[in-house]
Amino acid sequence: MRSNNITLRPLQTLEDAEACEDLQVAIWPSHPGSAGFSIPIHMLMAQMELSGAVIGAWEGEKMVGFLYGSKELDAEGRLYHYSWLAGVLGSYRHHKIMEQLKYAHAEIARAQGAYKIAWTYDPLQGANANLNIHKLGGIARTYYINRYGFRAGGSPQNVGMPADRFLLEWFVDGSVTRPECPALADIPQINRVESNADGLQEVRAIDLDRADPFLLVEIPGSFEGLRGHPRGMGLDLDWRMKTREIFLHYFGLGYRVVDFLSENEGAVRRNVYVLASKQV
């Protein structure tokens, strides 16, 4: 597969695996306080031989992105794929390479008879939500508390933050599709979000008593921007804990995340999840 001078193909050789290991170090360099993480060569080679999804993205001879996935069986014995790790060099992250890698993975999974691909991501990361939920059409209905611990938070930039995650399920066989949603103005929002004196978004109130067919949950316009702001200390954890409470509660009632929308209101970026009840 080729797009915008980027070529995607499965890893095939030891040299490919070595390039992928080097790429992971470049994307996620280890640092004090981080447990560090990468897929080592022996695991890359094993999945290459087991017909897993081990895909590289190249610009010429340079690997700039990768995806590592495996074949799995669910509790009912049905085949699905799990995407363990994927990354793109920082200077290439606006080239839609991750999106291309996901679609390439879907082609492999479908060809092998898998009905879905699953992976985890941080529900407060708007860019990931936009790709995983809005563009790809995945759903989230499972919430993991501190899935990867405090040492790395699942990635080095999140050291010290509870690594809460959504389990994303992308039904590549087309068996689950997005329901038709009403206009955003007609959907009640669970959390009331306002900007404080420093211009940082805060959750001022949450409502756990709704039973509407569709609900909205807002997340920060930029969670990383909030975390990096000198006055943002403590707000990041407040967002984590309040959205954790919301998602655990409504997922427990049978709601699922079915869409994600992002728009500017003046100078403020608004990111909202759309939840649908089990009756929809």
Q: Which long-range contacts (C-beta less than 8 Å, at least 24 apart) are formed by 190-197?
A: 190/215, 190/216, 190/217, 190/246, 190/250, 191/217, 191/218, 191/242, 191/243, 191/246, 193/218, 195/268
Q: 153 falls in which pLDDT band (50, 70, 90)?
A: very low
Single-letter amino acid, residue 254 = G
Whether residue 154 is predicted with pLDDT greater than 50 in this model: the reply is: no
Average pLDDT, stretch 259-268?
91
Percent of the chain with pLDDT over 70: 92
Find where tokens 């915008």 sit.
4
Q: 41-49 vs 14-27: helix axis angle to the nearest 10?
A: 130
Q: 231 falls in which pLDDT band (50, 70, 90)?
A: confident
The kind and range of the H/E element at 99 are helix 97-111
The domains of the chain are located at 2-170, 184-276
129-134-136-137 Cα dihedral, nearest 10 degrees: 110
Average pLDDT, stretch 64-78?
98
Reply yes or no on domain 2-170 having CATH 3.40.630.30. yes
pLDDT per residue as tens digits for the range 117-144: 999 999 999 999 999 999 999 999 999 9
Distances (CA, A) of 72 to 109, 126, 147, 222: 11, 28, 20, 34
Q: 31 falls in which pLDDT band (50, 70, 90)?
A: low
The kind and range of the H/E element at 248 are helix 235-252
Q: Residues of 22-49 as b/e, b for ≥16 C-beta within 10 angstroms?
A: ebbeebbeeeeebeeebbeeebbbebbe
